[in-house]
Amino acid sequence: MKHDSWLPGIATSLYSPNFSDNLGCHGRLAGNNPQDDKSVGLNDAIQSLVSYFETNDIRECILIGHSYGGMVITGAFDKLGAERIKRLVYWNAFVPNPGECLNDMVPPNYVGLFDAIAQDDGSVLLPYPIWREAFINDADEDLAKASYERLNPHPYKTFTDTIELSKAPAEMEVGKSYLNCQEDVALPASLPWHPRLSEKLGLYRLVSMPGSHESCFTNPTLLGKKMIEAGRD
Amino acid sequence: MKHDSWLPGIATSLYSPNFSDNLGCHGRLAGNNPQDDKSVGLNDAIQSLVSYFETNDIRECILIGHSYGGMVITGAFDKLGAERIKRLVYWNAFVPNPGECLNDMVPPNYVGLFDAIAQDDGSVLLPYPIWREAFINDADEDLAKASYERLNPHPYKTFTDTIELSKAPAEMEVGKSYLNCQEDVALPASLPWHPRLSEKLGLYRLVSMPGSHESCFTNPTLLGKKMIEAGRD
Amino acid sequence: MKHDSWLPGIATSLYSPNFSDNLGCHGRLAGNNPQDDKSVGLNDAIQSLVSYFETNDIRECILIGHSYGGMVITGAFDKLGAERIKRLVYWNAFVPNPGECLNDMVPPNYVGLFDAIAQDDGSVLLPYPIWREAFINDADEDLAKASYERLNPHPYKTFTDTIELSKAPAEMEVGKSYLNCQEDVALPASLPWHPRLSEKLGLYRLVSMPGSHESCFTNPTLLGKKMIEAGRD
């Protein structure tokens, strides 16, 4: 591994088994079901969430997105509006402006790594050493390995597709929170989640806690408590 | 609210009911008593604290300033000296160099917001949504509302008056501490209290804790403990 | 003390009574034994650690370096290799690239302070006010004084000698962790240990905790727990 290619800087997108659970959905985002075609793109993922809201007539929802999930909840709010979604919670998540893709928010060497590890079916999966050191740094080895086994290859196209938005997140009239796990170095600490991405929200509520990018595995109790603090009125 | 005007970046100055209590005073700084004329300036506020020390012949005091209060304690020490004040504790507070005003230390868009919300009587009061999301982000809604009801409009002139000092804080021969609440985004995290303002103190003691700008409301017990750690010899 | 010379930015090197204890050694690094000649240089210190490994045929060791100790463990790994050392743990420690000296990683005003306080025998010892405010800021006064009494003057040549390394730390094939005490302002918070120095490691595991540069004195229990988290597979 080269000096300048040491971290991938993604997140739930690379596995996201629990992302849809966080939403309280019974299905998963398009592209994240194990059997999904790995060529699906960002708009497919957003649309699958939009359809879920509409099919189930969900209203006044607090929507949490983790990592890549920040792309999806931003896009979904833009289509669904404040009647259906009352607050967006970004948990160490990407915050896109109109026309940005996820890869625009990671260092160039990450893009190089993604390109290098992309499979023929269009999916990417994080190498274990990166997972262990930079994503789940606060786990013991058993948990690091067990959680890695649960990862689900992710459709890379969702990182390279640019997002269509009618306005920037800072202009969106909705409650906005950023939940920051303070030992999350899945993005380099010199190019961090917070405040680099959080401040793209305009007025937002900051909630933070100790923990890695994978606090859903390493400290779910505290994470749940902080999600409530981030999501309440 | 525009993208670039999302945070005001002030503080106790906008309410400061407890500031004088922190000092152990029975009165309040000029400008912060509910009945005070809202045209009072920074020097009036400083002089009211200086007079309190002299009238009561206070010596070897540990003086804590919060937010705007950092302006006042810096000015008071410059007039009173080390015999009366043994240590200055800046709790998420402004640290002015000679000739600076508070507005010099906040982003230009904050100044624009202040100008826009200033009342005819010369006072400013924070809009509730900013209070709730950026100042008391760690409170539940009931506490956010109850504390907002206690706020006292603040004389804006104290933010635009430049301070007269015989020397920079870094040169002042007095104990200096900075108490930093780590989720305080009353100033943007990209233009933060610490280390941007703390390092203007020269040699100082850092004490930190989790919490928002309004930890006096949300976690007074821990705040008190940290004030003691910041203030001790 | 001038505004721009307020912090020295060193560390264990200035006392290091416990550094060798952390290694599980019964001796100390050359230069840090009380009776040592204070003219010893960086290579002497590194070689004393290398010899200890070889004499005792130590293998699969997890090696922790604090502050200046980061120079020594980096140099020792370069000579000893991954068979003897399985992981390097940098606890608020310097991370040198080939040809750098410790003084290259501190602000110019620190170098000025070191030069000014260096004794005729080649040693440096931190003035108490700097120790108390910037190194052991989380201690009470009794502990600050008692720990200061234990300090051992440090050979300054080890800060000015450049290190010889066959490769940069980012290229070293060994486990790497950075343990960051979050109130450590022994280096200025604007020119911090983490991520400025930690990211020189390439892929590394971040572990953090509240505490000053001297958490070995102020919170040894938590520090020990975090050392285990940093050192495990």
* Res. C29: pLDDT tops 90: yes
Closest-CA distance of chain B to residue A207, Å: 7
Q: How far apart are CA C78 and CA C7, in angstroms?
A: 31
SS3 state at C223: helix
SS3 state at A177: strand
Count contacts between A and C (CB, < 8 Å): 46
* Whether A155 contacts A38, CB under 8 Å: yes
User: CA separation (Å) from A187 to A33, A68, A103, C114, C172?
Assistant: 25, 12, 12, 36, 21
User: CA separation (Å) from B166 to B50, B157, B203?
Assistant: 16, 21, 18
pLDDT band at C28 (very low <50, low <70, confident <90, very high): confident
Strands laid side by side in the B175-181 sheet: B61-67, B85-93, B175-181, B205-209
Q: How far apart are CA A23 and CA B16, in angstroms?
A: 40
Dump pLDDT digits (tens) for C179-217: 999 999 999 999 999 999 999 999 999 999 999 999 999
- Other CB atoms within 10 Å distance of the CB of residue B158: 28
Dump pLDDT digits (tens) for B61-76: 999 999 999 999 999 9
Contacts of B213 (CB under 8 A, 6+ apart): B11, B67, B92, B134, B135, B136, B181, B184, B185, B186
User: In chain B, which residue's Cα lies nearest the Cα of A179?
Assistant: B183
User: CA separation (Å) from B14 to B135, B191, C49?
Assistant: 11, 20, 58
* Res. C22: pLDDT tops 60: no
| Residue C182 near chain B (CB below 8 Å) | yes
Closest-CA distance of chain A to residue B138, Å: 7
Q: What is the structure's pLDDT at A27?
A: 63
Dump pLDDT digits (tens) for C41-51: 999 999 999 99
Q: What is the structure's pLDDT at B34?
A: 84
* Res. C4: pLDDT tops 80: no
Token pair, residue A112, equals 């190089």
Dump pLDDT digits (tens) for B72-90: 999 999 999 999 999 999 9
**CA-based radius of gyration for chain B:** 16
Which residues from B are below 8 Å from C190, CB to CB?
Answer: 195-196, 199
Nearest 10 degrees: Cα torsion A159, A163, A167, A168: 10
* Whether A152 contacts A34, CB under 8 Å: yes
* Whether A221 contacts A191, CB under 8 Å: no
Token pair, residue B93, equals 């507070």
Which residues from B are below 8 Å from C129, CB to CB?
Answer: 203
* Res. C26: pLDDT tops 80: no
Look up the ipTM and state it.
Answer: 0.89
Tell me the helices (H) and strands (E) count for chain A, helix number first. 9, 6
* Res. C23: pLDDT tops 70: no
Q: How far apart are CA C25 and CA A96, in angstroms?
A: 52
- Other CB atoms within 10 Å distance of the CB of residue C225: 13
pLDDT band at A19 (very low <50, low <70, confident <90, very high): very low
pLDDT band at A12 (very low <50, low <70, confident <90, very high): very low
Count contacts between A and B (CB, < 8 Å): 48
| Residue B191 near chain C (CB below 8 Å) | no
Q: How far apart are CA C9 and CA C110, in angstroms?
A: 7
pLDDT band at C27 (very low <50, low <70, confident <90, very high): low
Dump pLDDT digits (tens) for B141-177: 999 999 999 999 999 999 999 999 999 999 999 999 9
* Whether A153 contacts A38, CB under 8 Å: yes
* Res. A43: pLDDT tops 80: yes
Tell me the helices (H) and strands (E) count for chain B, helix number first. 9, 6
Token pair, residue B19, equals 């500031």
Mean pLDDT of A198-205: 98
Handedness of CA A187, A188, A190, A191 (dihedral sign): negative
pLDDT band at B19 (very low <50, low <70, confident <90, very high): very low
Mean pLDDT of C141-153: 96
Dump pLDDT digits (tens) for B4-14: 323 332 333 33
Q: How far apart are CA C150 and CA A108, in angstroms?
A: 48
Q: What is the structure's pLDDT at A17?
A: 36
Which residues from C are below 8 Å from B207, CB to CB?
Answer: 137-138, 183
Global pTM value: 0.91
Nearest to C201 by CA among C108, C88, C125: C88
Closest-CA distance of chain B to residue A197, Å: 10
Q: What is the structure's pLDDT at C34?
A: 84
Percentage of chain B beyond pLDDT 70 is 88
User: In chain A, which residue's Cα lies nearest the Cα of B135?
Assistant: A205
Let me know the angle formed at the C-alpha of C163 by C157 and C167, rounded to the nearest 5 degrees.
170
Token pair, residue A217, equals 């595995």
Q: What is the structure's pLDDT at B28?
A: 86
Interface partners of C (3+ CB pairs, < 8 Å)?
Answer: A, B
| Residue B206 near chain C (CB below 8 Å) | yes
* Res. C225: pLDDT tops 90: yes
Mean pLDDT of B223-227: 98
Which residues from B are below 8 Å from A233, CB to CB?
Answer: 141
User: In chain B, which residue's Cα lies nearest the Cα of A197?
Assistant: B190
* Res. C25: pLDDT tops 90: no
- Considering only CB atoms, C170 lies closest to which of A6, A138, A183, namely A6
| Residue B173 near chain C (CB below 8 Å) | no
The answer to whether A189 contacts C171, with C-beta atoms less than 8 Å apart, is no
Q: How far apart are CA B152 and CA A27, in angstroms?
A: 50
Percentage of chain B beyond pLDDT 90 is 85
| Residue B208 near chain C (CB below 8 Å) | yes
Contacts of C90 (CB under 8 A, 6+ apart): C65, C70, C73, C176, C177, C178, C179, C197, C198, C201
The answer to whether C232 contacts A141, with C-beta atoms less than 8 Å apart, is yes
Which residues from A are below 8 Å from B185, CB to CB?
Answer: 195, 206
- Other CB atoms within 10 Å distance of the CB of residue A218: 22
Dump pLDDT digits (tens) for B177-198: 999 999 999 999 999 999 999 9
Place of tokens 């013991």: A140
Q: What is the structure's pLDDT at A20?
A: 39
| Residue A173 near chain B (CB below 8 Å) | no
Helix, strand, coil abundance in chain A, percent, nearest 5: 40, 15, 45
pLDDT band at B35 (very low <50, low <70, confident <90, very high): confident
SS3 state at B85: strand
Dump pLDDT digits (tens) for A161-195: 999 999 999 999 999 999 999 999 999 999 999 99
- Considering only CB atoms, C171 lies closest to which of A3, A7, A210, namely A3
- Considering only CB atoms, C130 lies closest to which of B196, B203, B232, namely B203
The answer to whether C203 contacts A138, with C-beta atoms less than 8 Å apart, is no
Dump pLDDT digits (tens) for A186-197: 999 999 999 999
Q: What is the structure's pLDDT at A28?
A: 86
Strand positions, DSSP E, chain B: 61-67, 85-93, 123-124, 154-155, 175-181, 205-209
The answer to whether A3 contacts C204, with C-beta atoms less than 8 Å apart, is no
Interface partners of B (3+ CB pairs, < 8 Å)?
Answer: A, C
Interface partners of A (3+ CB pairs, < 8 Å)?
Answer: B, C
Q: What is the structure's pLDDT at A34?
A: 84
Dump pLDDT digits (tens) for A205-226: 999 999 999 999 999 999 999 9
Closest-CA distance of chain A to residue C1, Å: 31
| Residue C208 near chain A (CB below 8 Å) | yes
Q: Which has more pLDDT, A38 or B21?
A: A38
Which residues from C are below 8 Å from B204, CB to CB?
Answer: 133-134
Token pair, residue C35, equals 């009776």
Mean pLDDT (chain A) is 90
